[in-house]
Chain A
Amino acid sequence: MDPLILASECDPAKEIICAPTNVIELFQFDEALFSIGPMDFTRTVILTFLAMFIVIGLLYFAFRTPRVVPTKFGAAMESLVLFVRDDVAKGTIGPDGIKYAPYLLSMFLFILVANLFEVTPFINFPLTSRMAIPLFLAVLTWVIFVFVGFKKNGISYLTGIIWPKSVPVALRWLVGLIEFFSTFLLRPITLAVRLFANLVAGHLMLTLLLGSGWIFMSAIGDIGIRSIIGLPWFVFGLGIFVFELVVAVLQAYIFTLLSAVYIQTSVHPEH
């Protein structure tokens, strides 16, 4: 898809500058394929539902029939789910963490599939490079940890943050101010932007390197030997492709783990 966009903007015979007129074109697919009420079913929206079906399908086929000896796929899904349930949820939050396991697991699988779309052939587009999903999940995490904080600790959750007893009195107001902003304002923003920006950068790099490399190389008939410049870009792009595979998994893990850590600080604020 993206090389096509690039190609439409590119005329290597005339000028060695290949760029879409607007970088946002790499991320926005405005034309709705169809609409239901206010919902425009753009490519991104359809991919979002595709991601949902993939996650549900993975879970369904992995756990449909209980087996004493799991299949290879079942065992892989089991270890993935148990990793989030036991290591991330219980391991970070404590025994209480099991309550948050459904949330953290849904988040992890959804983000993981959405991220992996970046390196999925024929899709080549990470859903998380659009702000909707990262922002929604970050805000949801914020709502959860603020709610849990007040529910578990009452008003002392707030006072513990803005008037931290473990800090010398002279500095308390300053640390309290920083903590207040960091907890209630910055956390959701950093959480969302970390994921979003990583995937935007990854998608940009892949699109530019693979796309422009490919366009230069395939224009060998028009521009002759100069098209060789596309080869290093393309090879470099393939390297980044593998790197982005790691980034996709890692960012899903980081988002989930940080959500767990934020919830943990609300469950046990003294730590």
Chain B
Amino acid sequence: MFELFYALEEAAEESSGIDLLLPETSELIAGILAFSIIFLVVWKFALPKLSQILEARQQAITGQLTEAESAKKEAESLLDDYKEQVAGARKEANQIVDDARQSGEALRTDIVAKADAEAAEIAEKARKEASAERERAASRIRDEVAALSLDVAQKVVAGTVDEGAQRDLVARYIDDLGGMG
């Protein structure tokens, strides 16, 4: 392989190596032309277009984020609403149960009071009736006792005592009975 490189070196020295270092006119013109066209495309098309793409992407992403944010907010407010409604419904249910309990209680108290009053009334009536009955019985007994006593006394002391004295005697007797009774 050394021979190969040696041969190459020799060859390079033979033909002036400066040819390799100097640009060929046609190639230079082609390079300048090609680069100018590339530059124009990059300058007028690629970079502006890329900025546009990046901006559009940024806007799209920002828009989507904002949208998501607002959707989230809406969902949250909706959830709050629902929570509020559920809480309201629960409160209302409690209220209804409470009310029912209260009115039941009131009804019960009322009924019991009424029953109590009625019972008291019945008892009172019975007591009054009993007392009136007793009064009546007592007075009838007194009358009968008086008549009987008069009869007995008449039979015992017939003729010895005038009628006025008898009556006094009977009355006194009855009073004594009454005081005893």
Question: Residues of A at under 8 Å CB distance from B?
Answer: 16-24, 27-28, 32, 38-42, 44-45, 48-49, 51-52, 55-56, 59-60, 62-63, 66-68, 70, 78, 81-82, 85, 101-103, 105-107, 109-110, 127, 130-133, 135-137, 200, 208, 212, 233
Contact = CB atoms under 8 A, between A and B. Distances in A.
Contacts of B57: 68
Given A63-B53, A212-B4, A102 B12 contact: no
B114 to A, nearest CB: 82
Nearest to A130: B27
Contact of B32 (A44, A66, A131, A136): A136
B48 to A, nearest CB: 9
Interface string B64-94: 0000000000000000000000000000000
A236 B30 CA distance: 34
B34 A66 contact: no
B7 to A, nearest CB: 4
Nearest to A48: B30
12 contacts: A17-B3, A19-B4, A19-B7, A20-B11, A24-B12, A24-B19, A28-B24, A38-B26, A70-B53, A106-B41, A208-B8, A233-B1
A110 B20 contact: no
B34 A48 contact: yes
Interface in B83-122: none
B149 interface: no
Contacts of B26: 32, 38-42, 45
Contacts of B17: 24
A193 to B, nearest CB: 8
A3 B152 CA distance: 180
A154 B17 CA distance: 41
Contacts of A55: 38, 41
Nearest to A105: B42
B38 A110 contact: yes
A104 B34 CA distance: 15
A102 B27 contact: no
Interface string B47-71: 1011011001100110000000000
A132 B24 CA distance: 6
A203 to B, nearest CB: 11
Q: Which of B43, B46, B56, B61 has the most CB of A within 10 A?
A: B46
A249 B103 CA distance: 92
A18 B4 contact: yes
Interface string B9-24: 0011011010111111
